[in-house]
Amino acid sequence: MRSTIKDVSAIAGVSMKTVSRVLNKERYVSATTRLRVERAVAELNFKPSVAARILAGKRSYQIALIYDNHSPHYIHQIQTGVWARCIEEGVRLLAQPSDVASPHLAREIGGLIDQTQVDGVILSSPVTDAPGALEELERRGIPYVRISPGTEYERSSSVSMDDVQAADDMTSHLIALGHRRIGFVIGHANHTASDLRLFGYRRALDRAGVSFEPKYVRPGAFDFASGEAAADILLDLALPPTAIFASNDDMAAGVLTVAHRRGLSLPRDLSVAGFDDTALASQLWPPLTTVRQPTRELAYAAASLLFGAEGEVVHRRLPHELVLRASTAAPKKI
C-alpha cells in the first residue's frame, strides 16, 4: 500500500497541514518539527502528492470532480470515494455538476479552473468522453483522470470495470433460472456504459441460444421515471417478459413500482434485476438482485491515480460481482 500524507502525519505527530508545509518548503515551521516530518517521510518512503503541488506557485490544495449523471445514488458513491482519498492527502474536493451536451461545456470547465485554480480534475462518465472537456484540460495543462471512459484510452489514466461482462453475467443468471423472455432497459444515450451493457445482454442471449427480440429492449435515462415508462411498455406486450434487467438500480426501482401497481407478485410473476448495487437496491421490496459496481472504489482509485501521477498513463480495472437478492427467481410454470 502506498503511504499517504495521513500516515506521515501520524508518525510525525503533527497535522496534515504541517506535513504539507514541510513538503512544500514553506516558512513558519520549526526546525524540530521539520526534522520529525522529514524522518517520517524517509521511514515511509513517502512520495508527495503531485496533484496537490504540481504547479509551483499555483497550489490550491483543491481538485475538482466534474460529472453529469442522473442517478443521485451513483454520484453520492463517486463523491464519497474521491472525498475519502482527498482527506488522506489533505486536499479539498470541489464537486461540479455539468451538462455534457452543452455547447458551453469547455468554457464552463475553463471558468471553474480560473475561479478555483484546482490542481487536478477527475471526470466521471459521460464527461470522460466529452472532447471539449478533454481538450480544455489539456490546453491548460491540468492533470486529469477519467472514471469509466469509453474512447481514447491512451489520452489519460483511468479506472473502470468490465460493463460488458457484468451485463453478460446478470443476463446469464436470469437464463440459468429458466427465463427466456428477458426485457432490458438501456441506460442514458450519452453514456458509453449503456451500449456496453446492452452488448453484454445480447452476448449472453446469443451464447445461450436465446433469440434477441428488439421488442424486449427499451430506452432509458438512468432515472426512476424512465424505468417506469419502459416497464409499462414491456408489460403491455401480448407476451410480456418474465424478467426485466434494468441497467441501473434507479430504473429497476421504476420497474418494481410499475409491477406493484399492476398487482404482480414479485418475483413469482416477474423477476427484476438492476445494476450498481447502490444503497437503494437493499431498500426496495423485494430487495433487488443487482450487479455490484465498485463505484466508491473506482472513485477512490481515480483520486489515487491523480495524486500519484508522474506523467505516465495508467489504467486500472476493478472487479464486479452479482448480488443475488429476493427480486429474482425461476419463472412461474404455466
Residue 123 near residue 144, CB atoms below 8 Å? yes
Asked whether residue 188 is assigned to any structural domain, the reply reads yes
pLDDT band at 90 (very low <50, low <70, confident <90, very high): confident
Pairing assessment for the beta strands 315-317 and 157-160 based on DSSP bridges: parallel
Residue 32 lies in domain: 5-44
Q: What is the pTM of this model?
A: 0.80
Asked if 172 and 271 sit in the same domain, the reply is: yes
User: What CATH number does the domain containing 126 carry?
Assistant: 3.40.50.2300
- Taking only the tens place, the pLDDT of each residue in 14-55 is 988 888 778 776 767 888 998 999 999 889 888 765 444 443
Beta-bridge partners for 62: 92
Q: Which residues contact 117 (CB under 8 A, 6 or more apart)?
A: 58, 60, 62
The dihedral sign for the CA sequence 212, 215, 216, 220 = positive
The total number of structural domains that make up the chain: 3
- Taking only the tens place, the pLDDT of each residue in 170-192 is 999 999 999 999 999 999 998 99
pLDDT band at 58 (very low <50, low <70, confident <90, very high): low
CA dihedral 297, 301, 304, 309 (to 10 degrees): -170
Radius of gyration of the chain (CA): 23
Asked whether residue 258 is assigned to any structural domain, the reply reads yes
Asked if 34 and 87 sit in the same domain, the reply is: no
Asked if 40 and 88 sit in the same domain, the reply is: no
Asked if 222 and 301 sit in the same domain, the reply is: no
- Taking only the tens place, the pLDDT of each residue in 1-15 is 567 888 889 999 998
Asked if 168 and 287 sit in the same domain, the reply is: yes
pLDDT band at 311 (very low <50, low <70, confident <90, very high): low
Query: How far is 303 from 124, CA to CA, in rounded Å?
Result: 12
pLDDT reading at 117 higher than 70:
yes
Q: Which cell numbers hold the place of 37?
A: 516530518
Tell me if the bond preceding 286 is cis, omega within 30° of 0.
Answer: yes
Query: How far is 45 from 298, CA to CA, in rounded Å?
Result: 25
Asked if 135 and 26 sit in the same domain, the reply is: no
Could you give the angle at the alpha carbon of 74 between the alpha carbons of 167 and 265, nearest 5°?
60
Give the residue-averaged pLDDT of 273-292: 96
Element (H, E) at 249: helix 249-261
